[in-house]
């Protein structure tokens, strides 16, 4: 057997092994994370198979889509790992939740947001595979449209989204799922903004329940000014990662109010492997949606079985490094989750 045939056969066997592992339900389960500055910004896994979704961009934030397996290496706690697979993820079905802030600070920007979201839906949603939900929020998140492949239904729900002055006037039901905490906020105030609550219930009650191997994302349109959430930002990130969901934040708001909280939106998005955008006008908003579309279709999937079989619940740091010196000339930015907790198998949470 020649070298090319050997290589092709080894890649085929690796792909079969990965497919069998996925069919057996051995995909990593995100259980806990904090902000990207904390060591706890990680995934807990309950199997020996760990996967990493990787995005590569250049210094101009352009996506790099021609990386090869030999250009990279993966380390776990400093120890190189052997990859089961390396591939570009371009065709996995999408589950997208549009979280739209409809508090008073979004009144002047909401029409542009809805127009850009409609264009995005027209471009990216494939009715045979992909699904989307429309979830406006103020003090509570409202399920105006559950996850559906019906593009017309998504459009109609989007058109029903209006600013709450002060109460939400749409037809969607409030999404429950957050228990009041002792000594905490019993319920949000009417007319307030509960961003972290909206992310929590959208991830936990909507996206986490979408079946199959899907690429799950929240597209959050807000100024980042949370005033009444019962959950913290870190707890919202936990729930997003638990649902294997990346957050793309679009920071947009009215300058007559408090402006856009860029720091919190950057932190929120980066802690899930996403990005934050801060458009200044309608064309910038459309460009942000276009970049999200490209990124959702242009990530790499890396999968490996850890060489450390001691599943003691300890934190394991993962790192992806460039090893192709030709790529050092123009530094690339690699975005991925930085680690996981190796829980004992079948131990529960």
Residue 22, phi then psi, degrees to nearest 5? -65, -40
Choose the final residue of a domain: 276, 296, 316. Answer: 296
Q: Are residues 105 and 223 located together in one domain of the fold?
A: yes
Inside any domain, residue 199: yes
Inside any domain, residue 348: no
Q: Are residues 15 and 138 located together in one domain of the fold?
A: no
Inside any domain, residue 349: no
| Number of domains comprising the chain | 2
Indicate whether 185 pLDDT > 90: no
For residue 54 the two structure tokens come to 């990787």
SS3 state at 72: strand
For residue 113 the two structure tokens come to 């947001």
Q: Are residues 255 and 174 located together in one domain of the fold?
A: yes
Q: In the prediction, which pLDDT does 294 show?
A: 84
Instruction: Round to whole Å and give the CA distance between 330 and 332.
Output: 6
Q: Are residues 100 and 225 located together in one domain of the fold?
A: yes
0.85 surpassed by pTM: no
For residue 99 the two structure tokens come to 């979280």
User: Secondary structure of 274-331 in the HEC alphabet?
Assistant: CCEECCCCHHHHHHHHHHHHHHHCCEEEEEEECCCCCCCCCEEEEEEEECCHHHHCCC
118-132, 173-187, 219-233, 296-310: least confidently modelled range: 173-187
Task: Give me the mean pLDDT over the 133-146 stretch.
Answer: 95
How many residues comprise the chain? 349
Q: Are residues 202 and 116 located together in one domain of the fold?
A: yes
Inside any domain, residue 21: yes
> Nearest to residue 121, comparing CAs of 244, 195, 217?
217
Most confident of 59-63, 234-238, 337-341: 234-238
Q: Are residues 246 and 222 located together in one domain of the fold?
A: yes
CATH code of the domain containing 197: 3.40.50.410
Q: Are residues 133 and 282 located together in one domain of the fold?
A: yes
Q: Are residues 66 and 154 located together in one domain of the fold?
A: no
Long-range contacts of 66-72 (CB under 8 A, 24+ apart): 67/300, 68/324, 70/323, 70/324, 71/322, 71/323, 71/324, 71/327, 72/302, 72/320, 72/321, 72/322, 72/323, 72/324
Instruction: Round to whole Å and give the CA distance between 13 and 1.
Output: 16
Task: Give me the mean pLDDT over the 265-275 stretch.
Answer: 90
Task: Report DSSP state, residue 73.
Answer: E
Q: Are residues 322 and 231 located together in one domain of the fold?
A: no
In 3-state terms the chain splits into helix, strand, coil percentages (rounded to 5) of: 30, 25, 45
Task: Give me the mean pLDDT over the 191-195 stretch.
Answer: 87
Please write the tens of the pLDDT for every residue from 14-34. Answer: 444 444 444 444 333 333 333
Indicate whether 42 pLDDT > 50: no
**% of the chain at pLDDT higher than 70:** 79
Q: Are residues 202 and 216 located together in one domain of the fold?
A: yes
Task: Give me the mean pLDDT over the 241-268 stretch.
Answer: 86
Longest Cα pair distance anywhere in the chain, in angstroms?
72
Q: Are residues 277 and 137 located together in one domain of the fold?
A: yes
Q: Are residues 217 and 261 located together in one domain of the fold?
A: yes
Q: Taking the mean position of all CA atoms in its chain, how far away is CA 339?
A: 16
Instruction: Round to whole Å and give the CA distance between 225 and 233.
Output: 12
Inside any domain, residue 347: no
Choose the final residue of a domain: 259, 279, 296. Answer: 296
Inside any domain, residue 163: yes
Let me know: does 137 contact 105? Beta carbons within 8 Å: no
Domain limits for position 141: 94-296
- Identify the band that residue 349 occupies on the pLDDT scale cut at 50, 70 and 90: very low
- Identify the band that residue 145 occupies on the pLDDT scale cut at 50, 70 and 90: very high
Q: What is the mean pLDDT of the chain?
A: 81
């Amino acid at each position: 057997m020649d070298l090319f045939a050997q290589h092709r056969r080894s890649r085929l066997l690796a792909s079969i092994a990965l497919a069998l592992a996925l069919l057996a339900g051995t995909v990593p389960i995100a259980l806990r994370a904090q902000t990207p500055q904390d060591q706890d910004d990680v995934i807990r896994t309950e199997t020996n198979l760990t996967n990493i979704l990787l995005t590569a961009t250049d210094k101009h934030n352009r996506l790099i889509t021609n990386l090869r397996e030999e250009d990279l290496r993966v380390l776990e706690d400093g120890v190189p790992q052997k990859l089961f697979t390396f591939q570009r993820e371009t065709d996995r079905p999408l589950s997208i939740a549009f979280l739209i802030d409809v508090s008073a600070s979004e009144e002047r920007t909401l029409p542009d947001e809805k127009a850009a979201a409609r264009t995005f839906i027209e471009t990216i949603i494939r009715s045979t595979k992909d699904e989307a939900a429309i979830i406006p929020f103020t003090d509570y998140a409202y399920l105006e449209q559950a996850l559906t492949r019906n593009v017309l239904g998504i459009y109609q729900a989007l058109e029903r989204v209006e600013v709450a002055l002060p109460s939400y006037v749409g037809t969607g039901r409030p999404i429950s799922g957050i228990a009041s905490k002792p000594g905490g906020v019993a319920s949000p105030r009417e007319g307030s903004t509960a961003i972290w609550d909206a992310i929590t219930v959208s991830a936990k009650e909507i996206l986490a329940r979408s079946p199959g191997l899907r690429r799950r994302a929240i597209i959050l349109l807000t100024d980042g000014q949370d005033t009444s959430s019962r959950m913290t930002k870190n707890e919202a990130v936990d729930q997003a990662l638990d649902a294997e969901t990346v957050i793309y934040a679009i920071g947009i708001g009215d300058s007559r109010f408090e402006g856009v909280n860029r720091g919190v939106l950057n932190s929120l998005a980066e802690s899930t492997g996403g990005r934050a955008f801060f458009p200044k006008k309608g064309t910038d908003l459309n460009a942000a949606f276009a970049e999200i579309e490209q990124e959702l279709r242009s990530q790499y999937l890396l999968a490996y079985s850890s060489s450390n079989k001691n599943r003691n619940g300890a934190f394991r740091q993962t790192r992806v490094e460039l090893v192709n010196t030709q790529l050092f000339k123009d530094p690339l930015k690699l975005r991925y989750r930085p680690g996981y907790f190796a829980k004992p198998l079948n131990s529960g949470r």
